[in-house]
Structure 1
Amino acid sequence: MYQSILRALTALPHRGAATPEGSEAARLLQDYLANLGADVRTEPFQTPKTYVTIIYWLMGGLLTGLALLPVTGVAIGLVLYFIVLAWRYFNWQYSFIIKFPVQHTAHNVIGRWPARRTGEGTRKVILMAHYDTAPVSLLYSPGQQTNFRTSLIISLLLMALAGVVAMLEVAGAGRPYVTYIRYGLMVYFAFQAMIGTLGYWLKGYTNGASDNATGVAAALATADRLQQLQLPDLTIEVVLTSAEEAGMIGAYYYVEAHKKEWKRNQTMVVNFDTLGAGTLTVVEQTGTLDVIRYKNEPTQLAKELVATDAFRGRAQVGRWHTADFDSVWFVRNRIPVLTLCALAADGRMPRIHQPDDTLDQVETGPVDTAVDLAEAVVERWVAGRQQISVLGK
Structure 2
Amino acid sequence: MKIPVQTILRELTALPHRGTATPQGSEAARLLQSYLAEMGATTRMEPFQTPKTYATIVYWLIGGIVAGLVLIPFTGVSVGFVWYFGFLAWKYFNWRYSFIVKFPVQHTANNVIGKWKDRGGGEDRRKVILMAHYDTAPVSLLYSPKQQAGFRASLLISLWLMLLAASLATLEVFGVALPYLTYIRYGLIGYFILQAIIGTAGYWLKGYTNGASDNATGVAAALATANRLNQANLPGLDVEVVLTSAEEVGMLGAYYFVEAHKREWKRTQTMVINFDTLGAGRLTVVEKTGTAEIIEYKNEPTRIARQLIDTELFQDRAQVGRWHTADFDSVWFVRNRIPVLALCALNADGQMPRIHQPDDTLAFVDTTPIETAVDLGEAVVKEWLKTHLAT
Q: TM-score normalized by structure 2?
A: 0.99
Q: Name which of structure 1's ranges 165-174 and 351-360 shifts more when overlaid on structure 2.
A: 165-174
Cα distance in 1 for partners of 2:388, 2:177 equals: 63
Give the one of 70, 95, 104 matched to 1:67: 70
Structure 1 position 138, deviation (Å):
0.1
Cα distance in 1 for partners of 2:386, 2:6 equals: 30
Alignment map for 1:21-40 (pairs within 5 Å): 21-40=24-43
CA RMSD, Structure 1 to Structure 2 (Å): 0.5
The residue aligned with 1:213 is 216
Does structure 1 residue 106 correspond to structure 2 residue 109?
yes
| 1:212-244 Cα distance to aligned partner (Å, 9 max, x none) | 000000000000000011012000000000000
| 1:347-367 Cα distance to aligned partner (Å, 9 max, x none) | 110000000000010000000
SS at match of 1:43: strand
- Look up the equivalent residue of 2:361 and give its one-letter code: T
Asked whether the 8 Å contact 1:16–1:132 carries over to 2, the reply is yes
Cα distance in 1 for partners of 2:121, 2:253 equals: 29
The residue aligned with 1:266 is 269
Give the one of 337, 341, 350 matched to 1:334: 337
SS at match of 1:45: strand
The residue aligned with 1:391 is none
Cα distance in 2 for partners of 1:2, 1:316 equals: 23
Cα distance in 2 for partners of 1:81, 1:224 equals: 47
- Look up the equivalent residue of 2:305 and give its one-letter code: A
Does structure 1 residue 97 correspond to structure 2 residue 106?
no
Alignment map for 1:36-185 (pairs within 5 Å): 36-185=39-188
Cα distance in 1 for partners of 2:48, 2:296 equals: 28
The residue aligned with 2:358 is 355
Asked whether the 8 Å contact 1:115–1:236 carries over to 2, the reply is no
SS at match of 1:110: strand
The residue aligned with 1:6 is 9
Cα distance in 1 for partners of 2:197, 2:190 equals: 11
Cα distance in 2 for partners of 1:251, 1:372 equals: 24
The residue aligned with 2:296 is 293
Cα distance in 2 for partners of 1:276, 1:289 equals: 28
Structure 2 unmatched ranges of 5 or more: none
Q: TM-score normalized by structure 1?
A: 0.98
Asked whether the 8 Å contact 1:145–1:322 carries over to 2, the reply is yes
Structure 1 unmatched ranges of 5 or more: 389-393
SS at match of 1:120: helix
| 1:11-45 Cα distance to aligned partner (Å, 9 max, x none) | 00000000000000000000000000000000000
